[in-house]
């Protein structure tokens, strides 16, 4: 039976005014590599993508979004459909409390008040039925400890942990963390990582 896989990729953008936004360094390449690999393995794949400059994989249904709220909506609209959900997107943790309607003029000082965005992964974990749920944990310290905490607190089946060196690099170290233990993957490409993930679930 063909597996149905929902993947997220890229950053989100949270508006400060009509021309400025808060975002992050995510390229989307990891999520796109994962989507591509699952298609090659015969799965039906939907990809919810933030704004990226990555070649679109063939045979993948792409849902383009910009903000964290749009990403959340698209994910939940496709959650029931999915057998496997892989949250590779770097969703903004914060957004401006109020976005200006007009371009903010340059001044000596500007203070922007931020508020938290929804924790999409936590909500997916709470609403999980038949799905296998995979999250990423980018940590600058206490990598394993934080990944194990995320696995339990968010009701995940697998956490893929890495550090900031993985951002926009061709090869990086990753750790797979699940309820049976950990598996370290040293200096692998995004394509090799995608193959390892697909092998676990197909």
| Domains observed in the chain | 4-95+115-201 (3.40.50.10300)
Task: Tell me which residues are annotated as active site.
Answer: 24
Tell me the C-alpha distance between 120 and 118, whole Å.
6
pLDDT 10s digits, 71-109: 999 999 999 999 999 999 999 999 999 999 999 988 768
Q: What is the mean pLDDT of residues 43-68?
A: 97
Helix axes 190-201, 29-40, angle to 10 degrees: 50
Asked whether the predicted pLDDT for residue 8 surpasses 90, the reply is: yes
Q: What is the mean pLDDT of residues 64-74?
A: 98
Dihedral sign from CA coordinates of 178, 148, 82, 5: negative
Q: What is the mean pLDDT of residues 8-35?
A: 96
pLDDT 10s digits, 157-168: 999 999 876 676
């Amino acid at each position: 039976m063909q597996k149905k896989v929902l993947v997220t990729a890229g950053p989100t953008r949270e508006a400060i005014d009509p021309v400025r936004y808060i975002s992050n360094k995510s390229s989307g390449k990891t999520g796109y590599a994962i989507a591509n690999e699952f298609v090659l393995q015969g799965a039906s794949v939907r990809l919810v993508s933030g704004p990226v400059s990555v070649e679109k994989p063939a045979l993948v249904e792409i849902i383009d979004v910009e903000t964290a709220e749009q990403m959340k909506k698209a994910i939940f609209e496709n959650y029931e459909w999915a057998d496997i959900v892989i949250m590779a997107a770097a969703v903004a943790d914060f957004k401006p409390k109020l976005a200006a309607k007009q371009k903010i003029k340059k001044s000596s000082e500007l203070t922007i008040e931020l508020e938290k965005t929804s924790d999409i992964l936590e909500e997916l974990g709470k609403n999980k039925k038949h799905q296998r749920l995979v999250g990423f944990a980018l940590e600058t310290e206490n990598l394993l400890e934080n990944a194990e905490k995320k696995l339990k607190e968010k009701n995940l089946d697998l956490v893929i942990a890495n550090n900031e060196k993985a951002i926009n690099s061709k090869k990086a170290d990753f750790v797979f963390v699940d309820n049976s233990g950990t598996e370290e993957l040293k200096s692998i490409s995004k394509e090799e990582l995608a193959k390892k993930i697909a092998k676990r679930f197909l």
